[in-house]
Amino acid sequence: MNDQSPLTDLLTNFHATCSGQGDINAGTNLLVIKAVTLANLSRTGCGIEPPKLDRLKAGCSLLVNGGLSASFASEVIGQVALRQNVLVAQIERLIRDKYAEAEKKELTAFEFPTGPGSNESENALFRLEQKDSLVSFESWEEWANVLSYPPNPRIDDLAANPKLLVTAKGPRDLEKQLRRLHGNRPLVWLSLKDSQEASSYATSCDTLLNGPYPTGEFGETVEANLIVTDPGDLLARIATRADEKGAWLGRMIWLVDSTLGPNAAEHAPEPGKIHVSDTSARFGEALTAVLAKRLNNRDAGTVLHPLDLAAPQLRWVAYLKEMEGKLPGITGTARSLLATLAFGLIELANAPHCKRLPVTPDGVEALGRWIIQRMANTRMAVRRTAEREQKIQLAQRVLWKLSNEQMSKRDICRALTLAVARIEEVLSVLEPAGLVRQVNGSWERPSRNPILETDLETLFLDT
């Protein structure tokens, strides 16, 4: 599927250019961030239910690279944090009122509102608990019922585990914050300050991305999704390092401010008019609705939106397999992207008190391909940058070795423990530039004058 018109229709309906404050690509990234955030904050098991295909669960992890898109992402997360603060404030007020009421009545304890009655799984456990040691052969069926659903949530459960959004002061603080999680499904938001911090997050974030993440003392696990912002464009710098501690960043879907393309587009408005965006207010309404459905303990079921993603999902997996050469591991990383986008876009399109907007399977698929193509182009550019940096560093080492003596090619290879091909690649650039010369089978520097790193950067621009 290469037709861009479904994507153009989608972006026009959601006014991406206006949302991006004139930058169509950043506006499209913002739309994706909103959709993914809504999907990641939904209750476990929510997603898309296409005909003739199993349920497609919503949820994925994002790396938002670049100053403009990262700033938009921070604003989106700020809205989530605001609602979490309101929720915590409501719970704290309820607890204080309950304490005051208990003290007034001279009670030693207080009770929360009862909430919904027991579900069939809870009743099954109760029946098993009531039986004597001579249990009947049907007991396995009761245990099957116990494992079918969690207990119906109550207000005291919410008071004990209210956290929907997890943020951290730094790598050491992250593990401490993965506590008191609502439904053991947090959205984790991190903003990277420098490459050292990115490396320090590696162990925890790798484990979170692997899922499930262990927490608690009784085997409880967490299913988390990450949104990581990279406003300072650390990707290129991290890629030049020899260690693997930044590799976890490659295990997320990238949204980039890059100009490498492909570029998004909207249908042009009528002359003298502009598309005015309402997606900020629309997102606020959709966010409140998603969280309300997640917290609703009177209806603990999942939300499944009907959208015919059967054929697009099959094409999607085949497309991701084709992209593996450019993006190793992308089939696993992005398999759930279509369902995540579809779920979030539908929630955004159907936000309460807002005009309903159309969301089509073709539009969702086109948006997914746009994301992956830009990610692939960015990764190729990052790899070229990393390779150039490595060549510059190697050239510096070769020049330093030749500062005081002549050396044969074999001696240079031995001194630097590198293959002949790597050394020849660097010498072939340094020799035409007059920085090294060959004399009687050995190599030397014709001048001992210092060489600026910027001069080397210029030499290796096109290699």
Structure token digits, residue 86: 């309101």
Reported as a single tens digit per residue, the pLDDT across 410-430 is: 888 988 888 888 888 889 888
* Average of per-residue pLDDT across 116-142: 70
Q: Is 226 helix (H, G, I), strand (E, B) or coil?
A: strand
* Average of per-residue pLDDT across 336-341: 97
Reported as a single tens digit per residue, the pLDDT across 71-111 is: 999 999 999 999 999 999 998 888 888 778 777 776 666 66
Reported as a single tens digit per residue, the pLDDT across 271-313 is: 555 556 666 789 999 999 999 999 988 777 889 999 999 999 9
- Confidence band of 261 (pLDDT split at 50, 70, 90): confident
Reported as a single tens digit per residue, the pLDDT across 160-203 is: 889 999 999 988 899 899 999 998 999 999 999 888 888 899 88
Query: Average pLDDT, whole number, for the chain?
Result: 86
Q: What whole-number distance in Å separates Cα of residue 416 and Cα of residue 422?
A: 10
Q: Is 213 helix (H, G, I), strand (E, B) or coil?
A: strand
* Average of per-residue pLDDT across 256-261: 87
Q: Which pLDDT belongs to residue 278?
A: 67
Angle at 31 between CA 246 and CA 304, to 5 degrees: 95
Q: What are phi and psi of 367, to 5 degrees?
A: -65, -40
Which range (24-28, 196-200, 286-290, 389-393) has the least confidence? 389-393
Q: Can you name the CATH fold of 5-93+157-383?
A: Rossmann fold (3.40.50)
Residues 6+ positions from 51 with CB-CB distance below 8 Å: 308, 310
Q: What are phi and psi of 289, to 5 degrees?
A: -65, -45
Q: With b meaning 16 or more CB within 10 Å and e meaning fewer, what string describes 4-42?
A: eebbbbbbbbbbbbbbbeebbbbbbbbbbbbbbbbbbbb
Instruction: Give me the residue spans of the domains in the chain.
Output: 5-93+157-383, 118-151, 402-459
Q: Tokens 């290469």 identify what position?
A: 2
Q: What are phi and psi of 219, to 5 degrees?
A: 90, 10
Res 270 pLDDT > 70: no
CATH of domain 402-459: 1.10.10
Q: With b meaning 16 or more CB within 10 Å and e meaning fewer, what string describes 59-85?
A: bbbbbbbbebbbebbbebbebbeebbe
Q: Which pLDDT belongs to residue 205?
A: 92
Say what the pTM is. 0.85
